Amino acid sequence: MNLTKLLRLLLATVGFTFPFFGTISAEATSSQVHVVTFVANYFGTTATASESSAVAALLTPVSQLGPAFNPSTFGFSEWSTNPSGGGQIYQDSSSYNFSSDVTLYAQWMYPNVTVTFAENASPGDPVTASQTENKSSNLDSEASLVPSFTKPGWTFENWNTSPDGSGTPYLDGATYGFAAPLLLYAQWAPTISFDPNGGIG
């Protein structure tokens, strides 16, 4: 083998280019573009958006996606590879390596909503407590409220949306959806005590 052929063989393995030999290159490699598809994932919409890249990059913030993802009663929580959550989780604007295509489903939550409990021991009673949640939860029990609710000579029975008990009743510790603020008034019943004096036997 002559010197020219030998040099061509050696140089072709490393991709060198020399004018007097022409262009000699190893097999070229190129980065492949991959796509992230964002799915709005809430009732009443089929909205999707996408982002593509051949290198690692930050995911587009949910507030900047087009078309806009803006359910009126929910706040954005995170992205998941599972529509119902529990898959691979990505936070808003987190980094993705774009090594493969992926579909991300928006996960939503209610904004924080407060239930206010009123002691309702007398007209104008100012004592209240509150509970704030962003998902369906059990109401705090009357016994766990801070400050404590008391009405001497009376026993707590349940809650009601009206001070006089004419509204919607709620059992102590009942489940509430926390989709809207709620004001609940304690309902009291006279404490019945037994006096052994005068009893028979």
pLDDT, tens digit, for every residue of 119-136? 999 999 999 999 999 888
Residues 6+ apart with CB under 8 A from 151: 119, 121, 122, 186, 188
Following CA atoms 11, 13, 14, 18 in sequence, which dihedral angle do they give, to the nearest 10 degrees?
30
Q: Which pLDDT value is given to residue 45?
A: 85
Q: Would you say the pTM of this structure is higher than 0.75? A: no
22: pLDDT strictly greater than 50: no
Could you give the CA distance from residue 164 to residue 174 in angstroms, rounded to a whole number?
20
